[in-house]
Structure formats: structure tokens, C-alpha cells
Homo-oligomer: A and B are copies of this chain.
Amino acid sequence: MWSGVMPAVTTKFGEEAGLDRAENERCFAIQMDAGCDGLIVCGSLGEGPMLTLAEKLELLGIAKSTAKGKPVLMTVAAASTAESCDIARAAAKSGADGLMIVPSLVYFTDRRETLDTLRAVVEAGDLPAMIYSNRVAYKVDVTPDMMEDLAPDERFVAIKESSDDIRRTTEIINRLGDRYDVFTGVDNLAFEALAVGAVGWVAGLVVAFPRETVAIYRLMKDGRADEALGIYRWFRPLLDLDVSRYLVQNVKLAEVHAIQSNDRVRLPRQPLQGAERQRVEKVIADALATRPQLPSFA
């Protein structure tokens, strides 16, 4: 159902409290112009847990109007199942094309609770859903075994595979064939995931470097792995910024330099400072200085 590069977009805040509508529009449009295949709003990178429901729906609306028919997914991630279901229902009513569901925050659900939560949320939203499997960030794993348990409900269409272990992609495919659209959710494992058969990439650095991200994806799908690998090697120091406690700050700082946006974040997050900011800015500057010529592709 879904495939390709799906940016997990950041959220742009104004100088006062509140969203910067125009900047969100501009940034989302950059993604679509570069050939991305959809948008995912209010995820980790979008600082979803720091947004009100009204803000989430506003971002959804902006994304819908920008995506021109390509799928827009709302991220569902809340401490209580009741709140997760509220978000899912509201997103469906506001025109979301799908949901990205995080099983739980704060409390670490066990297998049974995880399955029940995923089912409750997909029932509430009644939309196609991507299951976010990320045992590293959330201490809750959705294993291939559990994916099999969920398979009878056709609304579960995709997996965001973020176990941090590239082996998992092959395990899902070996177990479940093409039942799910398997997306990699880890920027600096993306080439490897595509090499072993992932059909999509929920991407982070894409918000600052969309053309390079799309190029890697399309070259891989065209059987031009060597060319993709060349770009990926250049891209790796940037992609590494996505696997960090500071992923939001890092990616927004990349946006500062690559697409002239800002790196305002919501507390308790703070923009990078001092030596760490310099280190990241050097990574970004080095990458910009050696930006590869992209090959043409279909």
C-alpha cells in the first residue's frame, strides 16, 4: 500500500508560542518537490508528545494540503490508550490517510498489552496503520511473532522497523513475506535495509537533504546499488545525527544550514550549544562542501 521515502517531518514553531504555519508549509513542500512519497506528522522528530491535539490536527491539515494526494500519516503516541484513541479518531475525522502507531509511552506494555493497544487504536481510527516497532526508544518491542498475531486485521499494512538491528528486516520478510510494507525507520541503516528488501524509508535527515534521500531510494530500486552506496557513504555522517538523544535538535540544525529554517524546539528540549553544536555544525558543513552530484533516474 505504501512505499518509498516518507519523511517524519519536524514541526516548526514561531518566535512566540504556537506553530509557524507558513514555515511548516514551506518545509513540507520542499519534501514533496524533491519526490518524497508521503508525509508523517507529529512523530518523535515532530515533537509529537509536546504538541496539543489541536496543533497536531493543524499540522495534519497543512500536510494534507501540501501532499497533493500522497499519503499523510498522523503519529499516535500517548501515555494512556484513551488518549491514543482520541488522537486516532480526531486524525481520521480530519482526513488523515493513515496512522503511525507507537504502542506506548511512559509505561512499557507487555506483549498482550501491546497487541491490545495497537488493536484499540486502529479500531478507533479505522485507518490503514503503520506499526512503529522501536524497542530502543520505547523499551517496547513489536516482534515478528506479534506482527503475525496482528496480520488478520488488514488495517495493519506497514511496519516501521526501528529495532536498530538490521537482521530484523530479513526476519520479518522470512516470516511474513510481503504481508507488510516494511519501512526502515533508522536513517543510518537505510541502505542496508533496502538491500535486503525493505520497500520504504521513514526518513529523518530527508527534511534537510530530500534529494539525496530520494536518490538513494530510487537507485536501490533500480538495481543501481553501487551508485546508491556512493551517496550513502557521503551521507552517513549526517544520517548518524538521526540516531542520537539529540535527533530533533540535530535534524533541525541541519535544516538551518541546508534549507534556511530554524532550530527552535519545545522545552524540555533545548537547541544544541557549545562544543556539541560546533561538532554537529562541522558534520553539516563538511557534508555541504562535498555534496555529490546526483545521477538522473526515473
What does the 1/0 interface line of A18-34 toward B look like (CB < 8 Å)?
00000000000000000
The reply to whether B189 and A167 form a contact with Cβ atoms under 8 Å apart is yes
Of A58-66, A145-153, A206-214, A265-273, the one contacting chain B is A265-273
* In the complex, A288 has a CB within 8 A of chain B: no
Taking CB atoms and an 8 Å cut-off, the chain A residues in 101-129 that contact chain B are 103-110, 112-114, 116-117, 120
* In the complex, A196 has a CB within 8 A of chain B: yes
Taking CB atoms and an 8 Å cut-off, the chain A residues in 251-275 that contact chain B are 266-270, 273
* In the complex, A229 has a CB within 8 A of chain B: yes
* In the complex, A144 has a CB within 8 A of chain B: no
For A106, the chain B residues whose CB sits under 8 A away are 49, 105-106
What does the 1/0 interface line of A72-88 toward B look like (CB < 8 Å)?
00000001111000000
The reply to whether A113 and B269 form a contact with Cβ atoms under 8 Å apart is yes
A163 to chain B, nearest CB (A): 12
Total A residues in contact with B, Cβ cutoff 8 Å: 48
* In the complex, A35 has a CB within 8 A of chain B: no
A178 to B263, CA, bound (A): 38
For A246, the chain B residues whose CB sits under 8 A away are 110
* In the complex, A166 has a CB within 8 A of chain B: yes
Taking CB atoms and an 8 Å cut-off, the chain A residues in 160-214 that contact chain B are 166-167, 170-171, 173-174, 188-189, 191-192, 195-197
* In the complex, A245 has a CB within 8 A of chain B: yes
The reply to whether A173 and B233 form a contact with Cβ atoms under 8 Å apart is yes
* In the complex, A283 has a CB within 8 A of chain B: no
